[in-house]
Amino acid sequence: MRLLIWLGLSVALVRATPFKGCQHKVKESVAAPPRGWVKHAPAPKDHLIDLRIGLPRPNFPALEQHLWEVSDPSHERYGAHLSKAETDALMEPHQESIDIVNEWLASHGLEEEHLSRSSANDWVTIQVPVGLAEEMLDTTYHVWYHPESDESIVRTTSYSLPEVLHEHIDLVQPTIMFSRFKALKSTLHYYGKEDVTLTSPSGGTITGPAGNQVDASCNNTITISCLRQLYNAVGYNSSATNGNKLGLTGYLEQYANIADLQMFFSLQNPAAYGSNFTLVDIHGGTNNQTPAAAGVEANLDTQFGFGLTYPTPGTFYSTGGEPPFIPDDLEPTDSNEPYTYWLDYILAQDDGNIPQAISTSYGDDEQTVPQSYAERVCADFATLGARGVSVMFSSGDGGVGDGDADPATQECYSNDGTNRTIFIPGFPASCPYVTAVGGTVNIPETAVYFSGGGFSNYFSRPSYQDSAVESFLTKLAPGTYEGLYNPYGRAYPDVSAQAYNFLIVYEGNTTYVAGTSCSSPTFTSFVSLLNDARISAGKTTLGFLNPFLYSSGYTALNDITEGNNPGCGTEGFNATIGWDAVTGLGTPNFEKLKALVLSL
């Protein structure tokens, strides 16, 4: 059937077209796939892939300027977030680009009914057989295999476009992107299923960073009560009706089990027992309730995120996208990074339908995502920020590396063909338009050893963090890690929160988990509570947080000054006074933050 589709589409090639005889020119290429990928076999011609075509956004600098202004507490436009119509207009390509790309697609038999367009018309997605994609892109696709993870994808190392299209198309994917979108494997440490009994709070107390008393049991087991005590939010009650919402994302067939959620509520927040979240399925996503289908990641996110913020309404986005297929199984489709489908969906939503704070606990090594693609996706996150949404990402669990260092030397290497020894930043945490959340442990808090942090090789350092990062860099001994990181790159994480010994319910049992997958929904929950306070006071939501955090918000954070994040055969960076590349600006003090955001 697929072969017939391809042959039917190919008939269109005989029509007269200005692209006939037009010379193809290489648009993008990579010297080699990242370490660990091996070429398995030519991709079957009838295997279906989702080609995602990015059209230029000539007015993005104007949108970015709006973002800086509405996110800067010192600017007169602070909080004056843009509408969907306004951001769509700023992200829309020139009509000339839309027209010529339409003409090119039509020359290959792909008419409007075959296309899916983003809300701003800046992305076009088409599902085509590999054979047709190879004709369109003058390339050859192969199945690439990653033995260590047993994953396989369909990719190429170079693709071309007719020269006339180069100024009208930024990129086409999946082509040269070999990223491995990860959750449990990199941003969540799972200790295994075990029955855990909640420790009685009668075992004494510890003085927390806010000067208040925290149950001593919180040094061994993190619960909702512990986080509220530690981060000074005991007694704050959010509204169920003021319009505030919290959003959590799920990918890679991570399902949030409702029975586990109710058991968790009964143990840690009885008032929430019987409540539920709104499920939104995207791109074929589901939320399988078979007990064995429960996902540790999804359970962690929903239990702590919605448990901390109850009764604030919560939304869980389950985005589909088959996991990489087995080379000999040709049925599943091979797609792009799943968060791009989520972005298409969320950016198409009307004003008021998007949660004002959203957490994602997934990511890639930055170098496995082509820079052109990373920049495009990052700009989409900027659009969300301009619309008043706070977007948080886990900073990763590989310290300054990727958790995939050379077994013999423990060093990490570049994949640009030079095989240089370097630190490996993570993406989307490295995007300057999101808030990256690192991890801490214990009371008093120290940096947890796996907290992802460092400096982007793609994105330059944004001005909002110049002072903080320069101060950190001056504290490094001369020559420290010279050549291993980019001191001029966007630095992350921005903030942090507890990331170890979180007690969740999984498959009907209590168990411990750890990772920056814990810290991102935790920090996001406190941001949601801050939004609740502002909305109830008649103010706008916080939106993109970083300009606020680096200008004044840091004064209401708990500075973490101990610990480091080893990786790539080094001890990594050290936590220190002020911002650092392990814990960022620190962990939240809710009462201080609330007073500060209500004064803006």
In the chain, where the domains are located: 2-57+92-173, 189-455+491-599
**pLDDT for 61:** 98
**pLDDT for 327:** 46
**pLDDT for 323:** 46
The answer to whether the CB of 496 falls within 8 A of the CB of 438 is yes
Indicate the class that CATH gives domain 189-455+491-599. alpha beta
pTM (predicted TM-score): 0.93
The answer to whether the CB of 227 falls within 8 A of the CB of 498 is yes
The active-site residue out of 301, 334, 397, 532 is 301
Lowest-confidence segment of 454-458, 507-511, 577-581 by average pLDDT:
507-511
Averaged pLDDT score across all residues of the chain: 90
**pLDDT for 421:** 92
Question: What are the b/e assignments for 105-123, b being 16+ CB within 10 Å?
Answer: bbbbbbeeeebebbbbebb
Mean pLDDT on 429-454? 97
Q: Work out the pLDDT band at 600, boundaries 50, 70, 90.
A: very high
Known binding site for Ca(2+): residues? 559-560, 578, 580
pLDDT value at 15 more than 60: no
**pLDDT for 181:** 66
Q: Work out the pLDDT band at 337, boundaries 50, 70, 90.
A: low
Over the stretch 119-150, which tens digit does the pLDDT of each residue have? 999 999 999 999 999 999 999 999 888 887 77
Residue 454 to residues 23, 440, 574, Cα–Cα distance (Å):
42, 16, 11
Phi, psi of 410 (to 5 degrees): 65, 10
The active-site residue out of 517, 519, 525, 528 is 517
**pLDDT for 1:** 41
Known binding site: residues? 559-560, 578, 580
pLDDT value at 464 more than 50: yes
**pLDDT for 403:** 66
Over the stretch 19-33, which tens digit does the pLDDT of each residue have? 666 789 999 999 888
State how far the Cα of 146 lies from the Cα of 34, in Å rounded to an integer.
10
**pLDDT for 410:** 79
Q: Cα–Cα–Cα angle for 164, 167, 170, nearest 5°?
A: 120
Lowest-confidence segment of 145-149, 460-464, 487-491, 539-543 by average pLDDT:
145-149
Active site residue 260: no
**pLDDT for 248:** 97
**pLDDT for 189:** 54
Name which residue leads in pLDDT, 179 or 182. 179
Mean pLDDT on 196-216? 77
Q: Work out the pLDDT band at 353, boundaries 50, 70, 90.
A: very high
Q: List beta partners, residue 153.
A: 144
pLDDT value at 187 more than 70: no
Active site residue 517: yes
Q: Work out the pLDDT band at 151, boundaries 50, 70, 90.
A: confident
Mean pLDDT on 356-381? 93
| CA dihedral for 165, 168, 174, 180, sign (positive or negative) | positive
Active site residue 364: no
**pLDDT for 406:** 72
Mean pLDDT on 274-290? 94
State how far the Cα of 161 lies from the Cα of 157, in Å rounded to an integer.
14
pLDDT value at 411 more than 70: yes
The active-site residue out of 260, 297, 402, 532 is 297
- 204: exposed, middle or buried (C-beta count within 10 Å: 0-12, 13-18, 19+)? exposed
